[in-house]
Structures are given as structure tokens and as C-alpha cells.
Amino acid sequence: MRMMAGSRSACEPARYADAMTTLVIGGAGYIGSHVVRLLLEKGERVVVIDDLSTGFRERTTGAELVELDVTRPDAAEKLAFQMKASGANAVIHFAAHKQVGESVAKPEMYWHDNVAGLAHVLEACATAGVRDVVFSSSAAVYGMPDVDLVTEDLTPQPINPYGATKYVGEWMLADAERAHDLRTVALRYFNVAGAGWPELADTLVMNLVPIVLDALEQGKTPIVFGNDYNTPDGTCIRDYVHVLDLADAHIAALEYLRGEERPHRVFNVGTGTGSSVLEVIEAIGRALGQEITPTIGERRPGDPARLICSTDRIRETLGWSSTKTLDDIVRSAVEARRAAQ
């Protein structure tokens, strides 16, 4: 059964009271809305909690939307109320600030909001008896690892407040598991891009693919942040994962939590393949059918030369692996932009 999108105040109960229901906190955002769509396609019930500060109501069509800021002091109580009223079996928590540069400029906001938000979610789960929690973590926890492939066993050494709040979030999950009857998974996202549906595309111009597309649209030349790194073409290498593949990893994580065995609580999510900045720009050129000649600029402080995900754990344990290539990612981003024009 699909429900029409609707919204209520945080004090009214959600309409669902039976069957598999997932509370998706931050479900009106870019990644969250892809997960909401996949859950609905599976016939599951979804209640989205979002303050709509960066999310959009239109992205939650088919789910029920409750507007609520999880950082507020009364949020745990309100969340517990929604969990009980909806009969939620699981929570996926996306709602957080996620910009590295902003976190350096406004560390207190990151520490307060990212940590308080998660604390309220975990407290509410304990109160309402919701057992399964999937948490959005980030490859930013690793900092500048000097390895070919980043495995989950590497000791995280975040180098900015954003990454630090995500690492602390993972500790909070572990503590909440010990204190309450919870089961949690943290997914450490690598570089997420693309769109599964044009209307769910990333509208923030904060990462390489949208930045380059935006620059080209404005007739500007994209800038490569340094080409003197110790990599084959001198530009930084990242592991770009399609947002739809990433969304699918959340579904796999939920199924894992619902099962019996659970040897791990932290998983990297990436493809295991690296692409340089120049390779991404070339792929964008292919998708647009034009040659792009970027300007080579200065290095951006804090950029590791190479960050590529080891995918062994998630493949072996959750049975998940990426299905989409860099060209798929870039093409979907280009198509989504065209659709929005």
C-alpha cells in the first residue's frame, strides 16, 4: 500500500501501526530520499522525519512526513512518540551536517547538532523499543590514510570536525548497544554522486561532479585542485559510488540487522575503484559530448591523494556490491540536471 505524501506536526501520531515500518530521519535529503524510494518499492512502510532545512517535501512522495528537528532538546521524546505510534521496527539516521569546510569554520555547530541529533535518536529507540539502527557515517573518519585500499580495520584518524563527529557517532552506537537492546550498523560512505531518479538529485553544489556541471553551465572553467599529487595523472583519486548503489547498501544493512548473525557493525560503502579528478572531468565531458579543459589550481588543504574503499567486508558480509560505473554516475547527474531545467 502506498500512502500519499502528507505532513503532520511532531505531536500527531503517524498513521501506520502495523507491519514493517522504517523511520527514515533525514529522508527528504539527497541520499535519504533514495533509500525511502527503495523501501517503498519493496512495499515497506516509511515515516520520514525531516526538518526540511536542506531536504524537500516533494522527495518524500509515497511516505508520511513528520517535520521535526532532531537537534532540539525535546526531540527524543517526540521521536519516541513517532516510533511507538508508527510501530517502527527500524531507524535509518541520515540527518546531519555534512560539509567538511563548514565543519572547520563552525565546529561547535557540527559537534552540537550531529552529536545531539544522534543522541536523541538513540534515546528514543531505547524508549520506544526500536532495535535496528542504520547510521550514516563517512570515509571522512579515516582522515589521510596512507594505504592503497582503506579497510574498516584501519584506526580512524579524522582530520576535521565533520569526520570526528561521524567517528564519535560510531562510538555512540556501540555504547547504546551495550546499554540497551539495540543492534546498529554504521555505513562509511565514500564519494557519493549521481541520481537514481532525476527529481531526487543532489541540489547542493558542494562536490566535484555538481561543481563541474555547475561551472560549465555558467560558462566557467572547472578548477582542478592540484595536479602534483603522487598519483598517475597527479590529481587526487577518490572512490565514486552511485547514490542508488549506496541506497541499496542501506537496504542490505537493514536485512542484516533483521537476521541472526552480526559479526560487524561498521562497513565501508564504495566501489573499490578509484578515479582521478581528471578522469571524472573526462567522464563529464563524455556525458555532455564536449571536451572540457579544466584550469589547474592550487591544492585544497586536507585532501588525501588517494582514498579508495576496500569492499571486501560489505561484499562478504552483506552480499552487497556496487553495480554502476563512473560513466553511469556522471550520466545520471547530467540527465537529472537537464530534467530540472
What is the set of active-site residues?
Answer: 162
**Binding footprint of ligand UFG on the chain (CB under 6 A):** 98, 100, 138-140, 190-191, 207-208, 211, 223-225, 236, 238, 277, 300, 303, 307
Q: Please classify residue 99 by burial: count the beta carbons closer than 10 Å to its beta carbon, then call 0-12 exposed, 13-18 middle and 19+ buried.
A: middle
CB of 188 to ligand UFG, least distance (A): 8
Contact 65, 7 (CB under 8 A): yes
With cell 527528504, the residue in question is 28
| Pick 199 or 303: Cβ nearer ligand UFG | 303
Is 89 exposed, middle or buried (CB count within 10 Å of its CB: 0-12, 13-18, 19+)? buried
Q: Based on CB atoms, which residue is closest to ligand UFG, 71 or 235?
A: 235
Closest CA to 32 of 14, 46, 20: 46
Spatial contact of 166 and 138, defined as CB atoms under 8 Å apart: yes
Give the integer Cα–Cα distance in Å for 31 and 156.
23
CA–CA distances in Å: residue 257 to residues 7, 133, 170, 266, 307: 29, 8, 16, 12, 28
- To ligand UFG, the closest distance from the beta carbon of 259 in angstroms equals 28
Which runs of consecutive H residues, i.e. helices, occur in the chain?
A: 30-41, 75-86, 100-105, 107-128, 161-179, 208-217, 243-258, 277-288, 312-318, 326-340
The residue (of 62 and 285) whose beta carbon lies closer to ligand UFG is 285
**Which residue, 13 or 285, has its beta carbon nearer to ligand UFG?**
285
Q: Is 38 exposed, middle or buried (0-12, 13-18, 19+ CB in 10 A)?
A: middle
What whole-number distance in Å separates Cα of residue 241 and Cα of residue 275?
11
Q: How far is the CB of 26 from ligand UFG (least distance, A)?
A: 14
CB 120 within 8 A of CB 81: no
**To the nearest whole angstrom, how small is the minimum distance from the Cβ of residue 182 to ligand UFG?**
25
Q: What are phi and psi of 24, to 5 degrees?
A: -105, 105
CB 41 to ligand UFG: min, Å: 27
In terms of CB distance, is 83 or 236 closer to ligand UFG?
A: 236
Q: How far apart are CA 300 and CA 15, in angstroms?
A: 48
Minimum Å gap between C-beta 56 and ligand UFG is 20
For ligand UFG, the closer CB: 180 or 313:
313
Residue type at position 282? E
For ligand UFG, the closer of residues 154 and 211 by Cβ is 211
Report whether 266 contacts 137 (CB < 8 A).
Answer: yes
Among 35, 62, 48, residue whose Cα is nearest residue 136:
35
State in angstroms the smallest separation of the CB of 62 from ligand UFG: 28
